[in-house]
Homo-oligomer: A and B are copies of this chain.
Amino acid sequence: MALGAAARPGRTAMKNIAFVGLGAMGRPMARNLVKAGLTVRGFDLNPAGLADLEAAGGTPCGSVQDAFRGADAIVLMVVNAQQAEAVLFDENAIAAAPPEAIVCLMATCPPKRVQTIAERVARTGRRFVDSPVSGGVVGAMVGSLTVMAAAPAETFAAVRPVLEAMGSRTLQVGDRPGQGATVKTVNQLLCGVHIAAAAEALALAERVGVDTRTMLDILTGTAAGSWMLRDRGPRMLEPEPEVTSAVDIFVKDLDIVLEAGRETKAALPLAALAHQLFTSTSGRGDGAADDSQVIRAYRALNGTA
C-alpha cells in the first residue's frame, strides 16, 4: 500500500523551487536550477543576488514568505545554521510553504544544529533533507558539486532531480538528518588540514631552499599527494592569487568541525591547529585572501613574510 505516498503531491515531479541565499555559491546553483527547467523564486537580503537571479530567468521575491509560496522544494544556501533557522522560523515563515514542501538545507552546518532544524521542520509536518555540498564556487558554476544527502528514501527520491540539477554526484549518505552534515564536516576537516599541511610543507621547502615548483610537481605524483596540494599548492607560490575560496571560509568551516568535536567530545588536535593557522591569517588582515594564503601564517612564524 502506497497510500501515504499517493496522497503526497511531493512525490510527483518537482517544479517550483524556493531558493534562499543568493551568494557566491547560491547564485550559480539557482542559475543551474533555472537551466534545468525549474521555476525558481528566490530571496536574499542583498539586492545583487536578486538581480542575478532575475537575469538568469528566476523570480526575485520581496520576502522569504513570498519565495516559499507554492514551493515543492525549499533550497537553503545561507551562510550558517543561525541564518537557516531565521529564514525558516522567524515570523513562522515556513507556514507560507505548502505542507508537502521539502526543505533542503545545503549550507555547511554542525550536525547537531541540523538535527535541531530538521526536528523543527518535522513538527510543521514538512519534510527535510540534510544535503550539504562539496566542490566550491567553481563546482557550483559548472554544476559539478558533490551533494551529500541524508533523508528517508522516499524524500530523497522526490528531491533527487532538484539536487542533480546542481551537482554531478548526488549521494545518499544516510537516512537521518545530521548524517549529511557529518560527512561534510569530516570532508572539511580533511580539506582544511590538507591545505595547512601543504602550506607547512611548501614553507619548509622555501626555508631549506629548493625549487618549490619542481618539488610541487614531484610531490603531487607521490604518496604525499592530495587534491588540495595539487589545487592550492601552485597558488601558495603566487604572491596575490585569485580568490577561489577565502581564508575566512575555513575559519568558519573548521569552527564547525570543532563544534562537531565538542558536541561529541571527540579530540581533533590537527583540525584545532589548522583552525589556529587560518584564524591567525585572518587576524593579520588576510581573511578575504585566497585560502591558499594560510601559508602566510608560516611565513609570519618563520620571519620570511
Report which A residues bind B (CB closer than 8 A): 111, 134-136, 146, 148, 169, 171, 173-174, 178-179, 182-183, 185-191, 193-194, 196-198, 200-205, 207-211, 214-215, 218-219, 221-229, 231, 257, 260-261, 264-271, 273-274, 277, 298, 301-302
In contact, A135 and B222 (Cβ under 8 angstroms): yes
Knowing that A203-B266, A207-B264, A207-B265 touch, tell me 19 more A-B residue pairs with CB under 8 angstroms: A146-B221, A173-B210, A173-B215, A173-B218, A174-B211, A182-B208, A183-B219, A189-B197, A189-B224, A190-B197, A193-B270, A194-B194, A204-B266, A222-B227, A223-B227, A223-B228, A224-B227, A226-B226, A269-B273
Give the docked Cα–Cα distance between A185 and B222 (Å): 13
Q: Which of A171, A188, A190, A298 has the most B CB atoms < 10 Å from its CB?
A: A190
Give the docked Cα–Cα distance between A178 and B226 (Å): 25
B residues less than 8 Å from A134 (CB atoms):
222-224
Known contacts A186-B204, A222-B187; decide if A267 and B302 are in contact (CB<8 Å): yes
Give the docked Cα–Cα distance between A173 and B257 (Å): 38
Give the distance to chain B from A82, nearest Cβ to Cβ, in Å. 21
Partner of A302, one of B190, B207, B266: B266
In contact, B218 and A171 (Cβ under 8 angstroms): yes
26 CB-based A-B contacts, threshold 8 Å = A134-B223, A146-B221, A146-B222, A169-B221, A171-B218, A173-B214, A174-B210, A174-B211, A182-B210, A186-B202, A186-B205, A186-B210, A187-B219, A190-B229, A191-B224, A194-B197, A197-B270, A200-B268, A200-B269, A208-B260, A223-B227, A225-B226, A266-B298, A267-B298, A269-B273, A273-B273
In contact, A186 and B201 (Cβ under 8 angstroms): yes
In contact, A224 and B187 (Cβ under 8 angstroms): yes
Q: Return the chain B residue nearest A232 by Cβ.
A: B223
B residues less than 8 Å from A215 (CB atoms):
173, 183, 186
Give the docked Cα–Cα distance between A183 and B216 (Å): 9
Give the docked Cα–Cα distance between A17 and B169 (Å): 52
B residues less than 8 Å from A188 (CB atoms):
224
In contact, A224 and B194 (Cβ under 8 angstroms): yes
In contact, B269 and A223 (Cβ under 8 angstroms): no
